[in-house]
Structure 1
Amino acid sequence: MTSAIDTNVYTDMQGLAQLRQQVRAEGDERSPETLRKVAGQFEAMFVQQILKTMRESCLNEGLMDNDQSRLYQGMFDQQIALEMSRGQGLGLSDMLVRQLGGDSAANAEPRVREPADPFLVPAMAARRPVSLAYGQHRPAALDAAPPADAVSGCSGVPLNDVRQNDVLGDTPVREWRPASQKEFITDLWPHAESAARKLGVDPKVLLAQAALETGWGQHIMQRRDGSSSHNLFGIKADGRWSGDQVNHRTVEFRHGVLQREQASFRAYASPGRSLADYAEFIRNNPRYEDALGSDDPHRYVMELQRAGYATDPAYGRKIMNIYNSDEFQYAVAAAQYQQRQAATEAQEVSVVDAQPNSMPAQNTPQNSPLWDSPPRDSIDVASLYAGEG
């Protein structure tokens, strides 16, 4: 063992016991170090169970398989599980630490990781440090802009879904957390279209930027009461912002060095309001004039980066990695198809409602030959028997 509570070899049976004794001695069961080590042990057990299930799923045994070989194979798998859970591991321990310790544990032990390219696969956005998802390195002096007081935030054609009006409209919403990338795109699509029309850009690039900033909606800053701030683009608040705001720690690149800072960010009643305010923020800020009206998504994000929207030198590239991914394009196509279907259904309903009594002429009794003759009570019955004798 390298330390009193490191269990780097599967045969070390005292690691957990020593960890338990140390926690009792220190009296702090929720310290970041303790949570990290316990989460690592749980991740090792999880990986070991995966390997065990994988071995058991093999139906055929080799000629050399026997009880002894399976024993050593199990010992080897246990050691593999420990090695795989060390360091960054599978990301399970990071999630456990955030759930067990909350933001305090995440902030107490910074774990800023920048892989070669963590956003080649959009699903990895959820594994990046939570602090990086909040306001991707905003310079406070550069992000000051007049508030969008006149913005309604609900223009665009909503999907044929009650959830659109309740969750993404002007009605205040406490929490919005999409269950998948497809749901993230579907929920925001009509509002992204509205914002994109104001900016003259592709709505997909706005969604890709929001996905980067929020980890696909999974890491949105929260207010003190635990409700969501719905800040999808990490726009900071200054003295000219009269709306709600939330304070949170963020990471900024200063002279090429990552630094943790405390900053105030804008808070909105709903994600739809956030998209509307983003459009006004970009359109009313002279710094981003070169980015407006750009049909090329790559040019748009690069102009934003050049103008100082984010201090991360790879900010534009990360957005385009999400934009060009197959998962993102599939989610956008699904959202567009659902919107077209909803529009078609709404149009059919409106046509039927506009003509509720319309029926084919040949089926109306007024035009039937049976109604061409006078009513029976007006017929001269005596004439029917005339000439009989």
Structure 2
Amino acid sequence: MNTQPAAASGAALVLAQQRGLAADSNSLNQLNQLAGRDSRAAIRETARQFEALFMRELLKSMREATMSTGLMGDEAGGLGSQLLDEQWAVKLTGLPRGLGEMIERQLMQQTQGAQEPASAGPAAAHAPAAAVAARPPFATPSQAQASFVAQHRQAAQQVERESGIPASFMIGKAAHETGWGRSPIRNADGSDSFNLFGIKATPGWRGRVAEITTTEYVNGAPQRMVQRFRAYDNAVDAFRDYARLIGRSPRYAEVMQNLHSPHAFAREVQEAGYATDPRYAAKLERMINATLNVKRALG
């Protein structure tokens, strides 16, 4: 009995695993169990493994669809092709903005969405009530979420028509900053400043100002400090001011080029330096997705 093909297949499996490709379902099951224990590293590895397996099967299908030339058409040639497919699958895995990142985001949303604070922005940092759990995509909206979206939908849609920025993106941003309206920035007399977006009062601002103690990240470390924020007469003015900031400032030019998805929008907002929180983009993306979920539920 010739055992060489079996031995060769075993060698191929070992080589594939050494190159970082989980070539059996048990390995993937183990990674999924780790992800279920809320390990970011395990989630990232699970996503990478799924991407690698997808690439391997894609290459295999492409190879099987081509005509054999007869060269190395024996079992050794088949093993060589298999090893080549494994190598290319690993090389094509982990590319920026690829399938692996999409899978990782989805797994993170499913396993960690209910464990993150809803907001870590300036409006939320000054009050414990802002620690509202962000719900995973497609979860049943809470009463607070539904009320917040219903309250601001008309103003957001009006400003969307004026600016082109999706209403859900703006409401999601406002929800992130205020903890679904539970922790608004207030004036010194306790009245609402209507600053839904955590926009600070820069030296060029000529309107009213609200001062609050908030959390800023300096070199990645959170620090409490007093900051000055803009104050408005109503929510519509706040939406318009936010749209002007994002739509007209050269600093946010890339943001306006990425209105096609919550992920791209949130990423570019963070890249432009809107907030100091190093995880701001991921949190904002979750809140926008939650807002879209609420809008679907409200009809």
Q: Name stretches of at least 5 consecutive residues in structure 2 with no aligned partner.
A: 1-107, 127-141
Contact 1:221 1:228 in 2 (8 A): yes
Q: Which residue of 1 aligns with 2:195?
A: 231
| Matches for 1:134-153 after TM superposition, within 5 Å | none
**What SS does the aligned partner of 2:185 have?**
coil
Q: Name stretches of at least 5 consecutive residues in structure 1 with no aligned partner.
A: 1-115, 136-177, 338-389
Contact 1:247 1:264 in 2 (8 A): yes
1:205 aligned to 169, 191, 209, which one?
A: 169
- Does 1:314 find its partner at 2:282? no
| Matches for 1:1-389 after TM superposition, within 5 Å | 120-121=113-114, 124-125=117-118, 133=124, 180-293=144-257, 294-325=259-290, 328-335=291-298, 337=299
Count how many residue pairs are aligned between Structure 1 and Structure 2. Answer: 175
**What SS does the aligned partner of 2:233 have?**
coil
Render the CA deviation track for 1:187-224: whole Å, top value 9, x for unaligned.
Answer: 11121123333443322121111111000001001111
**What SS does the aligned partner of 1:180 have?**
helix
Q: Provide the alpha-carbon RMSD of the alignment.
A: 2.9
Contact 2:177 2:196 in 1 (8 A): yes
TM-score, scaled to structure 2: 0.53
Distance 2:264 2:168 in 1: 14
Q: Could you list the structure 1 runs, at least 4 aligned residues long, displaced by more than 6 angstroms after superposition.
A: 116-119
Contact 1:210 1:233 in 2 (8 A): yes
Render the CA deviation track for 1:160-207: whole Å, top value 9, x for unaligned.
Answer: xxxxxxxxxxxxxxxxxx962111101111211233334433221211
Distance 1:269 1:179, change over 3 A: farther
- Offset of 1:119 from its aligned partner? 7.8
Render the CA deviation track for 1:132-154: whole Å, top value 9, x for unaligned.
Answer: 6159xxxxxxxxxxxxxxxxxxx
Render the CA deviation track for 1:109-162: whole Å, top value 9, x for unaligned.
Answer: xxxxxxx9998239953xx67966159xxxxxxxxxxxxxxxxxxxxxxxxxxx
Could you tell me which amino acid in structure 2 is paired with residue 298 of structure 1?
H
- Offset of 1:301 from its aligned partner? 1.3
Give the structure with higher Rg (CA).
1
- Offset of 1:320 from its aligned partner? 1.4
Distance 2:212 2:168 in 1: 28
Could you tell me which amino acid in structure 2 is paired with residue 306 of structure 1?
E
**What SS does the aligned partner of 1:274 have?**
helix
Render the CA deviation track for 1:76-100: whole Å, top value 9, x for unaligned.
Answer: xxxxxxxxxxxxxxxxxxxxxxxxx
Q: How many percent of aligned residue pairs carry the same amino acid?
A: 33
**What SS does the aligned partner of 2:155 have?**
helix
Structure with bigger helix share is 2
Distance 1:213 1:323 in 2: 12
